[in-house]
Amino acid sequence: MKNYKFVVIAVLLGLLFISCEDSTTDPIPTTGTIYLESEPTGAEIWLDDVNTGVVTPGRVDADPGAHIVTLKLQGYGELSINVSVTAGEEFILTSGTTLSLLGSLVINSQPAGADIWIDGTNTGKVTPSTFSLPDANYTVYLELTDYSDTTFVTQIANGGATTETIELKPEFLSSLSATIWETIGTTSDQPSGLDLSTGATSSIASGVNQSVDVFYNSDGFVVMSANGRNGMTRETYFKIGNGTELNDGINSPIKDNSWVTSILDTETNYIFLYDADGNYSKFRIVNQSGGTPGNPSNLDVEWLYNPKQNDINF
């Protein structure tokens, strides 16, 4: 009878132990993991802009939800990837993680000092500057006071070096034009003198107009420097160019001793001018008419005026 009681107690204890064992469950996972490989290996793994301290190939823990994983390796472009983590599961990423070699992009400008924008973002740098960038096409925008904004597309390929040297075009006051008349046999409304900076014309007979740069002289029918004529003081120098189109993008040569102080009114090419203020102009005689007895000669002229002193760009 005692043995029977012992067996019953043992059975009850066994059932109690099984019942307690069944009531015990594993903890519910609260995080997931991300496993990444890269080519080449050794890239730092950044999770949501925080360096995890792990490099590829490697595994990092992450809270459930959306994350941005960024791979960083010196000499290569950064690679960012959107991932979604589920608690208790692993997000595996072994493809699409090849890092691009960084190439160099050197941007120069003439003149220097232009603000540099790349793909719509201000880099905070000015020309000349060098950038380390992955292979791609890039839209570059340059901005410099007194010069026209310039946009161009360039490319870095195979981690190579690309150098761009851009000649910035000055912003002109305007494309100016005027009619000037010979100095003899003209009336007050037929001015001979010309102010290159404004396009204003004026008579030089009084000898008091000190803004005149050039005038149309009847003596040989030439356009001349105003210096030393009728009390005028502004000296202008001339250099005949090789073309006829003012907007052909050809810049002026630098003024030297080969420049002269007059040109014939029959000149068909454009002429570069250098005035008393150190400004260059690109000047062209468009039309000549008159020049018969009782009918004074006149010239229709047009020019580009560069307001930046000693700047030869056109």
**In degrees rounded to 5, what are phi and psi of residue 228?**
85, 5
CA distance 141 to 108: 12
Average pLDDT over residues 22-37: 80
Residue position matching structure tokens 């810049």: 251
Least confident of 2-11, 159-168, 205-214, 304-313: 2-11
**Per residue in 105-136, pLDDT tens?**
999 999 899 999 999 999 999 999 999 998 89
pTM for this prediction: 0.58
Residue 10 has pLDDT above 80, yes or no: no
Residue 192 has pLDDT above 90, yes or no: yes
| Residues contacting 146, CB < 8 A, separation 6+ | 170, 171, 307, 308
CA distance 71 to 25: 38
Average pLDDT over residues 278-284: 97
Average pLDDT over residues 15-21: 44
Instruction: Work out the pLDDT band at 225, boundaries 50, 70, 90.
Output: very high
Average pLDDT over residues 249-271: 96
Altogether, the residues listed in the chain come to a count of: 314
Predicted local confidence at residue 25, as pLDDT: 65
The overall average pLDDT reported for the chain is 88
Predicted local confidence at residue 172, as pLDDT: 76
Predicted local confidence at residue 158, as pLDDT: 85
**Per residue in 82-108, pLDDT tens?**
999 999 999 998 888 988 888 999 999
Find the distance separating the first CA and the last CA of the chain, reported in whole Å: 122
Residue position matching structure tokens 């029959």: 266
CA distance 314 to 270: 12
| All domains of the chain in start order, with CATH | 32-93 (2.60.40.1120), 102-167 (2.60.40.10), 175-305 (no CATH)
Q: Which two tokens stand for residue 162?
A: 């690309």
Residue 13 has pLDDT above 50, yes or no: no
